[in-house]
């Protein structure tokens, strides 16, 4: 029998009370909060880099696998949309990283055994629902990218890599493809960012539903739109830089961003009174 998570037990016993969605307090974020979250995220990564590199490398391996499938099926035009679209799955993919940061913040140990216990404290069905929405959004992005390609360069079957890049970079149609693709990508990424800036960390931390987590993320975004936009720009720039380093850079970028997301959540959302396991030790060490 699966043990009842401590947070859920305390909620059911009435020892702590979870605020309703409209009662959850959100703070205004500043650029200093973003930089501090990144600093803390890097400190978390540096503490357990061997663990985190494994999770970070899921991204480059996944991108390489997706690109290999694309190349194998002669759909070279979808290689970039597939690789860049993986960032849309980031909020879900980093859930184990949130767990690591939470335990380190509270002075609790972390080991490989703890990975399997991540979902003991998580609203599993809510996570499944939000992950399903992200997957659907990812495939909609691929559909949009394919539609833009066919409307600009047209579908002409197999492309040799040299021919493909020549058409994209040296023709008016290719320039239109680049501009339209980036605009569409920005829209897709902005929606994911606004709805998930704190949603998955919140599902790990509190017994709330998917709707509450998403609404809270939207409230955080509306309260600090410029700071959330800065956060999104940093994520996009970091992912692009990690990808440019032959995808290997994502092995560092993804864990640091994942850890930092947890710390940004802690800055953005007030915790209820008497919330368990929120007081860090003096040095915060694992």
> Please, which residues have CB within 8 angstroms of residue 61's CB and are 6 or more apart in sequence?
none
Residue 284 in any domain: the answer is no
Asked if the structure places residue 285 within a domain, the reply is no
Residue 81 lies in a domain: yes
Q: Is residue 5 part of a domain?
A: no
Instruction: Count the domains in the chain.
Output: 1
pLDDT digits (tens, 9 = 90+) for 119-164: 665 677 888 899 899 888 988 888 888 888 888 887 655 567 777 7
Q: Is residue 27 part of a domain?
A: no
Asked whether residue 62 is domain-assigned, the answer is yes
pLDDT at 31 > cutoff 70? yes
Q: Does residue 220 lie within any of the structural domains?
A: yes
Which domain covers residue 234, as residue numbers?
39-268
Q: What is the pTM of this model?
A: 0.77
Provide the greatest CA pair distance for the chain. 66
Token pair listed for 28: 């205004």
Across 55-59, 75-79, 152-156, 184-188, which has the greatest mean pLDDT? 184-188
Q: How big is the CA angle at 255 (ends 90 and 139), to the nearest 5 degrees?
A: 15
Q: Which residues pair with 269 in a beta bridge?
A: 26
Q: Tell me which residue of 186, 188, 209, 193 sits closest to 268, measured CA to CA.
A: 193
Q: What are phi and psi of 253, to 5 degrees?
A: -60, -50
């Amino acid at each position: 029998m699966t043990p009842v998570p401590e947070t859920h037990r305390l909620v059911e016993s009435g020892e702590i009370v979870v605020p309703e969605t409209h009662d959850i307090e959100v703070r205004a974020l500043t650029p200093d909060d973003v930089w501090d979250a990144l600093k803390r995220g890097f400190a978390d990564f540096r503490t357990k880099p061997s663990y985190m590199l494994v999770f970070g490398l899921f991204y480059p391996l996944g991108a390489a696998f997706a690109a290999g499938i694309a190349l194998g099926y002669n759909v070279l035009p979808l290689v970039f949309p597939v690789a860049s679209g993986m960032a849309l799955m980031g909020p879900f993919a980093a859930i184990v990283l949130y767990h690591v940061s939470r335990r380190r913040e509270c002075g609790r140990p972390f080991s490989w055994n703890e990975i399997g216990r991540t979902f003991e404290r998580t609203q599993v069905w809510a996570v499944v629902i939000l992950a399903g929405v992200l997957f659907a959004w990812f495939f909609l992005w691929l559909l949009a990218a394919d539609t833009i390609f066919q409307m600009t360069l047209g579908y002409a079957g197999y492309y040799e890599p040299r021919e493909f890049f020549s058409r994209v970079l040296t023709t008016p149609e290719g320039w239109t493809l680049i501009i339209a693709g980036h605009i569409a990508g920005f829209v897709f990424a902005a929606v994911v960012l606004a709805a998930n800036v704190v949603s998955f960390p919140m599902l790990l931390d509190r017994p709330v539903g998917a709707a509450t987590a998403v609404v809270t993320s939207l409230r955080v975004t509306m309260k600090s739109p410029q700071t959330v936009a800065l956060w999104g720009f940093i994520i996009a720039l970091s992912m692009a830089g990690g990808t440019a380093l032959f995808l290997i850079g994502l092995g560092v970028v993804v864990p640091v961003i994942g850890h930092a997301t947890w710390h940004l959540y802690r800055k953005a959302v007030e915790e209820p009174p008497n919330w368990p396991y929120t007081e860090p030790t003096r040095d915060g060490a694992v």
